[in-house]
Structures are given as C-alpha cells and as structure tokens.
Amino acid sequence: MTEMVTVKGLNKVYESTGRRVEAIGDITFAVARGEFACIVGPSGAGKTTLLKCLAGLLAPTAGEVRIDGTPVTGPPPGMAVVFQEYGRSLFPWKTVRQNIDLPLRQKKLPRDRREKLVTESLAAVGLADAGDSYSWQLSGGMQQRVAIARAIAYEPQVLLMDEPFAAVDAQTRADLEDLVRSLWRSLGITTLFVTHDIDEAVYLGERVLVLSASPTHVLDDVRIGLPADRDQVTSRSTPEFAALRARVHRGIQDAKAGRRGTGAAA
Amino acid sequence: MTALDTAPPGQAPPVTTPRPRGRRPRVAPFVGIAVAALIAEIVPRTGVIADGVLPPLSSVVAELVSEAGEATLWQALGRTLRTWAIGLTAAVVAGVAAGLLIGLVPVLRAVTASTVEFLRPIPSVALIPAVILIFGTDFESGVVLIVYAGFWQVLVQVLYGIQDVDPVTYDTARSYRFGLRARVLHVVWPTTLPFVFTGIRLAASVALVLAITGELVIGTPGIGQLISVAQSSGATTRMFALVLLTGLLGTLVNVGFRYAERAALGWHPSVRRSENAR
Ligand SMILES: Nc1ncnc2c1ncn2[C@@H]1O[C@H](COP(=O)(O)OP(=O)(O)OP(=O)(O)O)[C@@H](O)[C@H]1O
Ligand SMILES: [Mg+2]
C-alpha cells in the first residue's frame, strides 16, 4: 500500500504578540491510500490545527506534510475539508445547491455533470428538498449535512472531516456514519476523521490515532480489526468492539492525565 | 447596518411566504414635522429673532412653489445634481477599487494605514482655495471636492468590509482551490457589499453638502450660487425657499439610498445577523 498522507515531525507553534502556544509538539504518522483513519484527542489537543496543516491552510512551524508524495505548500488538489465550524463554512449568500456547485465550478466540470453531482450528494445526505434554501434557513444539523454533501460532491481523493457530526441527533448521526462508511467503501476515498466520540472512532475507522494533550504527539495507534461490513447494532455489541473501545478510552485517559504514551506507531 | 425587514430565519425550507409589512400607522415622525413647521411659522411672526429678516414658513413655501415655475431654478438644480452625481460616481468607483486593492494586499494595507489616517480627516472645504487654484471656478472644482471627501468614506467602509470576511468561509474557498478572482467574487465582495452601501450613503450626503458649498463659495452656477445671489440682493424669502429646497434634496437622497440598500440587501446575512443578534 502506498502512503497517501504522510506527516513527519510536524510541529506547530502559534505566535501572536506576547503569546506563544505550541499546539502540536511532534506528530509523525502515515495514512495509506484508501484508508479510513480516525483521530481522537482531548479538546485543545491540536486536532483542528493538524487538519489545517494537512489541508495546506496553515504552514507548519517544523516538519513535513505530504499528500500522495507531494509536499504540501498550499491547498492540494483532490482534497475536501469539512470544517468544525460548518455553519460559517457555508456561503450564506448562496443557496444550498450553489454552495455545493461552486467548488465544482472551480474544477471546471461541465454543467450537466455538476447538476448530477449536486443532486446526488444532496439526496445522499437526505436533503433532496432543501437545495433552493439558503444555508441560514436550515438547522445546524442540516447545515452540517450540506457541508458534507459539498465535500462528497467534490469527489475528493482525500477527505478531512473535523468533528462533522457534532450537531446532529443520534439517529441522523448513525445514518451519516453509515453514509460516510459506505462512501468510503465504494469510492475508496482516503479519509481522516476527527472526533471526540470514542465509539464513533472505533465504529468508523480502520485505525484510530490517539493524540495527547498539547504539546501534541501520537499516544497510540490502534488498528481496528472489525470486519469491513459494519452494522450500528451488531458491530457495536461485539466483544472485539468493547475491547477496542476500552483500549482507546485508556489512551484518552492517559492523555488527559498528561502521561506521555509510548508514541508508538503500530 | 440597521435592522431591515427580512423573514425570520431558522424555519424549515423553502421559505417563500411573503412577510407582512408593519401596518401600524406611524404618527410620531409627522408630529415632529408638524411641530417644527409650527415653530417656523410662529417664531418669525413674533419678531423675536432678527426682526423682519426671518420670513414665516408659509411665505417661504409659497415662494418655493412660484420659483418652481421658473426655468432658472430647474437649470440650477440640474447643475447641482450633475456635479453631485459625477463626483459621487467617481468617488464610489475609486473608493471601491482602491479599497479592494488595499484590503486584499496586506503590504499595501500596512503601508497606507498612516496615510489614510492623515488624509481622511482633512475637511474638504479647507481644500477649496487649493482646488480653485488648480481647477479654476468651473463645476469640475466641485466635482474634485466631492471625489476627495466621498472617496475616503467609501474606502474606509470597504476596508471594514474586507476585515469582516469570515476566516472559516475564506479557508473553505481556499481549500476548494478557488482562484483569487473567485475568492473576491464569491467571498470578499458579498461580505463587503453592505459596507459599500453604507459608504455610498455617507458619501452621497457629503457630496450634496459639498456640491452646494462649492457653488456658494466658488460661485459655480447651481443652487448654492442662487442662494448666495438671493442673499446679496436682499431677497430673503427667496433665499430661504432655496435653503428649504436643499433640505428636501438631502432628505430625498438619504431616503432614496436607504431604500436602494434595503432592496438590494434584503437577502444579505448582515441584515439577518443584525435581526437576531445573539
Ligand atoms: N489561530 C490561533 N492562534 C493562536 N492559538 C491558536 C489558534 N488556533 C488554535 N490555537 C491554540 O492551539 C491549540 C489547539 O487548538 P485546536 O483548535 O487545534 O484544538 P482541537 O484539538 O481542534 O480542539 P477541539 O477538540 O476543541 O476542537 C489550542 O490551545 C488553541 O488555543
Ligand atoms: Mg477542533
């Protein structure tokens, strides 16, 4: 398997007048092409910062990020990001359809192809009827789904998602989890998924990276050996699931307690 | 931005129901006008202020009505409005262009900050002598004054607008690899638009003041010049009739631009934001 996302010795320090925050201490990991990796870590661990460095929106202070072998110097092609502040990431002066369409226009796709992608992605997130609304006329959870629809319509090779299901109810959340997994399985999009929810991380990922509190490093790298066919009820009630969940949970507890982990890359 | 009428957001889409306009009869503004008119009618008659010089409102209005039948007034009005419109248009175009350029190029912003802060507060009227020296006493002088004053109003608003661009929205556009043109067109400009409108509205009022000031002081043909002539020839009632006209003009300009702003930005999030301020 080739590496799609490579992070080597990444360090990020925010510096503003009189304040210096080392958001990321030293992170090294790689995600293979087509892999689904979840990233968990305590609040303020630098997860968003990490994603922004991967997305070419922030320059690392030290270290290196490569996407598909190419060093990242700006937003790389073929990447879609679902931001944590989904509401602010939608263009309020555009309708839902236009929001999804606009990135496709930048890719210079023909009109009928764009229309098809917009319609399909809206249907996929269950918002087929909301296309002509403005984002501010939608609920928080609906806005989040629009942001997700925009990302999948873009047909990215790499998909970065920053706590994308934080604002939706349990049922919608389960549906979206299954949607993201089925998209991943059918399209083979390399996916990095940041979440606070350990269950979600274990259920979704083929791998879970546990980050320490800042200055951040990788505490644990757990391979999720569950079968590819997952089901909200049965998968979550298996002993394997419970064991994996417990392991990730311990990792997070260690992170909160400030213990430095093995930093091992499995 | 003031609160304007828009549909309450947060409802399930699609929102198409026309919103009912306030049907409440608005009496207060008319009471104010009536009281002011009454004072303007009574005080001159008592002779308390400048005995005999101040004509009562009724005769001023009568004079204005009779003036309206004369070509001179309309010609002067046309000239004043021409100066105003040309100056305002140039100021807005220059202010928007310069504002976008300065606002989008951090280096330019840093370099120009002190210059802007120094040049902006210079009152345009202080430049009248210099303007006469350079441009003479034709209407171009008035235009130059208006461009100078209006330019800063618009420029500063555009800069505020660009600062208001949401970093998350901007990052989104960047991550989807919007080019510079697309980022300006789809992110920066829509955010800046309400600020541009404010700038235009402010500039329009200032431009009217300067159009008339220019005519008064420089003597360029227009309403301002008519006022000055009426004053020096002792036609006090006529003078006040013209003053009343400038007042009406100013009100018209302000109301007109507010209406245009409302019509153009009813859909805009800034309008919405001010409506359900958290
Ligand atoms: N623009 C910034 N300037 C200065 N410091 C910042 C900036 N953005 C983030 N930080 C700091 O960097 C650290 C990591 O922030 P980050 O947003 O990456 O955390 P996170 O893991 O995404 O947290 P959460 O789970 O709450 O979203 C925090 O201490 C935060 O205060
Ligand atoms: Mg975050």
SS3 labels along B104-162: HCHHHHHHHHHHHHHHCCCCHHHHHHHHHHHHCCCHHHHHHHHHHHHHHHHHHHHHHHH
Task: Tell me the per-residue pLDDT of B156-184, one tens digit each, with 9 for 90 and over.
Answer: 999 999 999 999 999 999 999 999 999 99
Question: Does residue A145 belong to any structural domain of this protein?
Answer: yes
Q: When comparing pLDDT for B24 and B251, which is higher?
A: B251
Say if the Cβ atoms of B267 and A93 lie within 8 Å.
Answer: yes
Instruction: Provide the domain limits for residue A116.
Output: 83-155
User: Do residues B219 and B232 touch, judged by C-beta distance below 8 A?
Assistant: no
Best B170, B177, B187, B265 residue to mutate vs chain A (most A CBs within 10 Å): B177
Domain count for chain A: 1
Between CA A17 and CA A168 the distance in angstroms is 37
A202 lies in a domain?
A: no
Mean pLDDT computed over A3-26: 92
What is the reported pLDDT for A1?
63
Residues with CB under 5 A from ligand 2 (ion): A 48, 84
B13 confidence band (pLDDT: 50, 70, 90)? very low
In a domain, B60, yes or no: no
**Which residues of B sit within 8 Å Cβ distance of A?**
9-15, 166, 168-169, 171-172, 174-179, 182, 186-187, 190, 267-269, 272
pLDDT at residue A210, as a whole number = 92
> What number does the ligand 1 atom closest to the CA of A49 have?
18
User: What is the mean pLDDT of the segment spanning A155-164?
Assistant: 94
The number of domains in chain B is 1
Does residue A187 lie in a domain region? no
Tokens standing for residue B249 = 């003009």
* pTM, full prediction: 0.81
pLDDT 10s digits, A17-63 = 888 889 999 999 999 999 999 999 888 889 999 999 999 999 999 99
Q: In this structure, is residue B75 part of a structural domain?
A: yes
Residue B234: inside a domain, yes or no?
Answer: yes
Averaged pLDDT, A134-150 = 90
Domain span at residue B263? 71-277
Q: Look at residue B15 and tell me if it is in a domain.
A: no
Q: Of all protein residues, whose CA lies closest to atom 31 belonging to ligand 1?
A: A44
Contact B190 A91 (CB under 8 A): yes
Q: Which residues of B touch A129 (CB under 8 A)?
A: 13-14
**Predicted pLDDT of residue B16:** 45
If you measure CA to CA, which chain A residue comes closest to B16?
A133
What confidence tier does B116 reach under pLDDT thresholds 50, 70, 90? Answer: confident
Q: Provide the CATH number for the domain around residue B97.
A: 1.10.3720.10
pLDDT at B268 over 80: no
Calculate the CA dihedral of residues B118, B120, B124, B129 and round it to 10 degrees: 30
Residue of A nearest to B192 (CA): A93
In this predicted structure, what is the pLDDT of residue B110?
87
Output the residue whose Cα is nearest ligand 1's atom 23. Answer: A44
Query: Residue B200 falls within a domain, yes or no?
Result: yes
pLDDT of res. B5: 42
Helix (H, G, I), strand (E, B) or coil at B167: helix
> Which pLDDT score, from 0 to 100, does residue B241 have?
92
